[in-house]
Chain A
């Protein structure tokens, strides 16, 4: 049986818009959808499109304080009221008209994806507008207003899922999600990110492993600034598969922020789309191996709007659809024209950055003088014993 993928999308998701000049621009998803369409990703058998409904207040309140939701409504209403106490109206999170409705729709889309997977409608489901992992119960943060991954995971737990695996590959620490489930052993949260010493939000050290019954279920991989493909893939290989194989989630939820790319203006990692593509394949394989194929995927960060995001996430959708894009493929000329007309930026010609995306598997042994290996060992040492795994390769 081939992969089935539900892509949750509506043009209305583009209303999540912080305004001209803000890096989190909806055009990146429009370009992604156009590129995926142009390469025939949506024509693959088993791919369906679904239109989301905005999340109602009761659903939002599974995480967010009612006072915060009211503040978001005011911020996005006629009065356009900033509220710095709730993180609204800052440089990171400017207020915009319809802020509540747009944010609620993003949540609705991720919950729709979770519902499709849990209900057996599709094996995999994607919301590229989601992955807003910094939002907190009573505050917007890092361009995130309502935390769709958290709300979707809580929805799954409420609907009978006992164990959720969450893998977050955004270059920024997934602070909102790890905090929400910090004491909950039902949700294994794994965040691979640039070291907090050099990047927002300044949290995400290996020692942050969870509390109470949840100790050992928060997994932080903090990689040095400048880490490239080989180190990043090696870290993934060293940490994610062993934990998921032991945890065996009912559903795998993943966040695929692509801001770790070398061209991304907001961070300092040195990745290629080729490495990201390899990671998508790895997550896909793990969803089948450990979670019965039940896989909910979201977007996230990614601020090289034309050069990186569309190619990365087209690869992601294609992988989930069971028809990976040939890296030697060219982007359609019509798409390049559209991208240039839309943004003024020349668009990339190839679906590859030309990188081999190879790495040395961690089980072959590690080098204590290598900074990436030290990061890997710090995480394994902190977390593996909780799962009956040995930190040493």
Chain B
């Protein structure tokens, strides 16, 4: 969450909004009412003149003055943040988790969530970028964790016997495990590390005697 969040009042005009966006280099603002409570969010997309639909100039009663650059500018100039914003705002509480934030953004299809305190007052803003950055863990950090914590720590195996490379969160791991089931559990453990996007399994194990089965049938050799 960014606590240094700029909000604009409901009464702000179109020009003010555009100026603020340019000045702050952001594409959206929470809109607050007189009491500082979040009323909505206005974004660049809201400012695009989509509301000049053909109903204003086409058909009976259509107006020439309403269409064209002048009509659109006039309509735009007259609106305030309150009229442009998407409301009610989808907000998230201060104590919610990153996972909740991510889920909310996904289900409500919003790119940013104003963060509010218990009284609904704006406390900050969290954006998709903030949430996704949890997943952008440095590759070498992930590699260290695989080698030291998982292979050496959890499985008590010699890290030098394995080759681990990580590129953009994709872990490729190769080495000789004592049994197939060990290799499988090792891959699973690596898969659930923070920041790991995917695992390429290049593990090997010694060939195993199939268990003796009634009737002499052989089981699977392995995946």
Contacts and interface: CB of A to CB of B under 8 A. Distances in A.
| Interface size class of chain A, counting residues whose CB lies under 8 Å from the partner chain | 20 to 34
Contact of B68 (A91, A143, A267): A267
B58 A201 contact: yes
B64 A200 contact: yes
B168 interface: no
B11 interface: no
B64 A172 contact: yes
A266 B62 contact: no
Contacts of A268: 68-69
Nearest to B69: A265
B70 A200 contact: no
Contact of A199 (B59, B67, B73): B67
A198 B64 CA distance: 11
A126 B113 CA distance: 63
Nearest to A263: B69
A266 B69 contact: yes
Interface in A258-305: 264-268, 303
Nearest to B54: A202
Contacts of A201: 57-58, 62, 64
Interface in A306-351: none
Contacts of B62: 200-202
Interface string A23-42: 10000000000000000000
Interface in B136-183: none
Interface residues of B, number: 15
Interface string B50-89: 0000100111001111111111010000000000000000
A202 B70 CA distance: 17
A142 B54 contact: no
A26 B94 CA distance: 62
B20 to A, nearest CB: 26
Contacts of B66: 91, 200
A197 B54 contact: yes
A383 to B, nearest CB: 23
Nearest to A84: B61
A267 B69 contact: yes
Given A92-B64, A143-B64, A172-B64, A202 B59 contact: yes
29 contacts: A23-B70, A90-B63, A91-B63, A91-B65, A92-B64, A141-B64, A172-B64, A196-B58, A197-B54, A198-B67, A200-B58, A200-B62, A201-B58, A201-B62, A202-B54, A202-B58, A203-B58, A264-B68, A265-B68, A265-B69, A265-B70, A265-B73, A266-B64, A266-B67, A266-B68, A266-B69, A266-B70, A267-B67, A268-B68
Interface of A: 23, 90-92, 134, 141-143, 172, 196-203, 264-268, 303
The 9 closest A-B pairs by CB, nearest first: A202-B58, A265-B70, A266-B68, A200-B57, A142-B64, A200-B64, A200-B67, A267-B68, A92-B63
